[in-house]
């Protein structure tokens, strides 16, 4: 549930390796988030969360380049390569999970890296 809009959302990786969203607001809608944001194709399944402090939606996934990518919505869809933006995080071999931490007004993404360690990317 995305409280800021009073809507429900489902994200998934399609057979086209794009990240798709279904959302309910009066009826069901569909969007190709990969096309809408100019993001690269997905190799793994996405995870979504909302960030209350910003009133924004976030989707994280492992791309075909094994980087962790983030899509976020603040009125339009945007893309970031979190692996590049982090300044040296290892590439991923597992799908990420993302969440917000209200007490610190922060966002976190965890995933398994090529070194078989669990890594965390965060901002806040």
Each residue's pLDDT tens digit, 49-84: 988 778 889 999 999 999 999 999 988 999 999 999
Q: What is the value of pTM for the model shown?
A: 0.91
| Angle (nearest 5°) at CA 108 between 107 and 112 | 160
Q: How confident is the model at residue 104 (pLDDT cuts 50, 70, 90)?
A: confident
Q: Which of 48-57, 82-91, 113-122 shows the lowest per-residue confidence on average (mean pLDDT)?
A: 48-57
Report the alpha-carbon distance of residue 89 to residue 101 in Å, rounded: 21
């Amino acid at each position: 549930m995305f409280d800021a809009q009073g809507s429900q959302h489902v994200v998934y990786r399609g057979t086209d390796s794009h990240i798709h969203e279904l959302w309910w607001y009066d009826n069901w809608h569909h969007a190709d988030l990969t096309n809408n944001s100019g993001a690269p194709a997905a190799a793994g399944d996405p995870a979504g969360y909302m960030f209350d402090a910003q009133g924004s939606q976030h989707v994280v996934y492992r791309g075909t380049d094994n980087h962790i990518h983030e899509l976020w919505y603040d009125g339009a869809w945007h893309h970031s390569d979190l692996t590049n933006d982090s300044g040296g995080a290892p590439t991923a071999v597992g799908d990420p999970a993302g969440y917000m931490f209200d007490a610190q007004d922060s966002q976190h993404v965890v995933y398994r890296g090529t070194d078989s360690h669990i890594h965390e990317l965060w901002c806040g």
